[in-house]
Structure 1
Amino acid sequence: MREASAVLVNVDELNEAAGAAIARMLGAEAAFVTAGASAGLILQAAACIAGDDPAKITRLPDTRGMRNEIVMQRAHRFAYDQAYRVAGGVLVEIGLARRTQPFELETAINERTAAVAYLVSPFTSPPGVLTLEQVIAIAHARGVPVIVDAASMLPPRENLTKFLRLGADLVSFSGGKGIRGPQSTGIVAGRRDLVRAVALNASPNQALGRAAKTSKEEICGLVVALECFMAEDEKAEMKRYTELCATIVETLDDIPGLRAVVEQDPVNRVLPHAVVYFTPDWVGPSGHAVQVALAQGEPHIYVQQGAHQGGYFDEIAIDPINLQPGDERIVAARLREELTRRA
């Protein structure tokens, strides 16, 4: 990134070269570096609504008279879906909180539909919702693209190619998080024509996406970070995370009323997590009280707690991805201190 800062480049050419390099790594038709995964959602919507039409691009977010509806399952509504509306998208919600039936998507698609959005994220796809495969089949049969937000689903590395292989038209990933590239970057990958539309709606063009500018330094940094991420030994990485979590669990497993375990699964905890469940015999502080005490203490420790933050019940979950050597013992000691604190 330091070297990139000292070089004058044509940003359009850099975007094209970086996108080509990323596309090769992902096995995608094309790719584009965005200013984070949320900016990727804005550009997904802009590409599906305005395409490569300069007249429509310059009108965004005014989408009157355009195909501007983006269909989403209610179970997939989340704070960041506002990004679709930034581009002028009109959200059309289907289904119930934990169930969507195929006919609901079939009848929601009409001449105003620009895309169907699908969220791939922990604790957002209970058994009753439509799967990505179902959504792709229904949408494609009606000529409508499917746009996927998979910002937080790396690792595993197979997810970089999985959703595209299933037939998603555009997929947005975070360049930070698991890839550990510049935190202000992201990737949109997918169909060549739609990625071209993404680029036309993005910086350095004078379009809606100009506000979500990526610098040459960030673009280069992300490409290198992705190369490093792809080369890393994932089995060894998961083993290390499991060991970190086991240290935390072992420090807590003798506390009455708690069930401390290491959990990992393909959907809700894609990385090993140390999870503390409260049994009916628990008489100590609430999970929320422990979470707040950890966040306000020294050092600040941030844990997931409760279903509203991605969970099953009121459990506390520790994601080890940002822990440095020795941090796990600090986290374990502070957890034990707060869990055994008496009022």
Structure 2
Amino acid sequence: MITRRKLIRNLSAVPLLGGLAGTAKALPFLDVSSTAPAKDYFKELGVRTFVNAAGTYTAMTGSLMLPEVLAAIQYASKDFVMLDELQDKVGKRIASLVHSEYAVVTSGAFSAITLGLTGVLTGPDEKKAAAIPHLEGTGMKTEVIMLKAHDIPYAHALKNTGVKVLQVDTREELEKAINDQTAMLFFVNANNFDGKVQVEEFIQIAKAHNLPAMIDCAADVPPVENLWRFTKMGYDMVCFSGGKGIRGPQSAGLLLGAEKYIKPARLSMAPRGNTVGRGMKINKEEILGMMVALEYYLAKDHAKEWKMWEEQIALVGNAAKSVPGVVTEVKVPAVANHIPTLHVSWDEKKIPVTAADLRDRLRKGNPSIEVADGQPGNKYAISITTWMLVPGQEKIVAARLKEVLSQGA
């Protein structure tokens, strides 16, 4: 439970950002003395909590919000504002922070994809926004093209608008598929190296055919530069998750890019009701919390944080490989979840414990610990990240991992 004292202490070390000063005096909303006594709700409900050494998975509720974000959420909860006005002002500030023409806070990267596409389809026409997903007879275009290698489950966000999604392999197939019904080209950055057309060539094709292009970068922060890299590259819309590396609300996201597409997307967002995006409502607390999370993310010392992750990974890795038969390797994914990742594998003859069994033992321990899958097809491997750990928890993970591996030896 975050206490008032901890909030004030944490904020006192932070420079002024977006009008939020790092002192209790400048942040009167930090006075939580009137709140109800703390209760252990998860324990009361019988919900398991755990040490997250796996990563920012939605099933594991993403990341933990910063105290500053929690303070902003509490602040926003105490007054009424007009939703559109808040989106206007927050969007303007976010756009300036990430060198974008326009920005809006969405209810996650998935909704950013859907809403961004609605802006492309409808333009500023409210009647068209109300017609989605029924495109026939409206004059709206009906197709989006993407690479087969990018057919991830989240691409379903495109289909919410009623479009037909065409999948292609090569540049030749892509250009052949373009026709008068093509509304947009869609790219998934996490799968950049899986396809035969990569990120820069893809946008060049879109520009050559005068088509808008959207890129899904849900898990592509860090590095921080990705927040403006793709708009500068020429992508018209870039979609980010807010509740992963940026450490904002798990139910928030960012849609960044060209005003000509994103401003019309607002026609399909709450508070308007007769639209496909009405159920993707995001509240004032999340909007403000997302802005504050972004401000603090941009201001942090990223090199220092990276060094901390490397040190934490080294601690856990050294503990694991001290067990005979265990091999460790540290890798940094080129795209998506670009953070030091520890891969742990072991000789099944020396340690006859499957990864599933090991994960179960870690899960059932005290404290409960979650780790991620290892190499595909290898039943004796797991992977670990430390970026979602509370500092100090790396020692717990190291000790428990060594203990469980040793027990299996």
- TM-score, length-normalised on structure 2? 0.76
Give ranges in structure 2 of 5+ residues lacking alignment. Answer: 1-72
Q: For the Cα contact (< 8 Å) 2:343–2:374, is it kept in 1?
A: no
CA RMSD of aligned residues (A): 2.3
| Pair 1:56-2:121 in alignment | no
Change (3 A) 1:117 1:293: farther
Q: 1:86 aligns with which of 160, 164, 169?
A: 160
Change (3 A) 1:173 1:330: same
Q: After TM superposition, give the deviation of residue 317 of structure 1 in Å.
A: 1.5
> Whose radius of gyration is greater, 1 or 2?
2
Q: For the Cα contact (< 8 Å) 2:246–2:293, is it kept in 1?
A: yes
Alpha-carbon separation, structure 2, partners of 1:208 and 1:251: 51
| Pair 1:14-2:86 in alignment | yes
Alpha-carbon separation, structure 2, partners of 1:313 and 1:287: 6
Change (3 A) 1:307 1:144: farther
Q: For the Cα contact (< 8 Å) 1:263–1:269, is it kept in 2?
A: no
Alpha-carbon separation, structure 1, partners of 2:222 and 2:396: 25
Q: For the Cα contact (< 8 Å) 1:305–1:314, is it kept in 2?
A: no
| Pair 1:133-2:200 in alignment | yes
Percent identity among equivalent residues?
35
Q: After TM superposition, give the deviation of residue 265 of structure 1 in Å.
A: 4.7
Look up the SS of the partner of 1:177 in the other structure: coil
Change (3 A) 1:55 1:36: same
- Give the equivalent residue in structure 2 for 1:300: 368
Alpha-carbon separation, structure 2, partners of 1:240 and 1:283: 30
Counterpart residue identity of residue 17, structure 1: K
Aligned ranges 1:90-239 → 2 under 5 Å? 90-95=164-169, 101-121=170-190, 124-126=191-193, 128-206=195-273, 207-239=275-307
Look up the SS of the partner of 1:28 in the other structure: coil
Alpha-carbon separation, structure 1, partners of 2:387 and 2:281: 27
- Give the equivalent residue in structure 2 for 1:250: 318
Q: For the Cα contact (< 8 Å) 2:330–2:340, is it kept in 1?
A: yes
- TM-score, length-normalised on structure 1? 0.90
Alpha-carbon separation, structure 1, partners of 2:200 and 2:380: 31
Look up the SS of the partner of 1:33 in the other structure: strand
Give ranges in structure 1 of 5+ residues lacking alignment. Answer: 96-100
Q: For the Cα contact (< 8 Å) 1:284–1:341, is it kept in 2?
A: no
Q: 1:74 aligns with which of 148, 151, 156?
A: 148
Q: After TM superposition, give the deviation of residue 128 of structure 1 in Å.
A: 5.0
Counterpart residue identity of residue 106, structure 1: E
- Give the equivalent residue in structure 1 for 2:388: 322
Segments of 4+ in structure 1 off by > 6 A?
Answer: 279-282, 311-314
Q: After TM superposition, give the deviation of residue 314 of structure 1 in Å.
A: 6.9
| Pair 1:27-2:99 in alignment | yes
Alpha-carbon separation, structure 2, partners of 1:47 and 1:306: 40
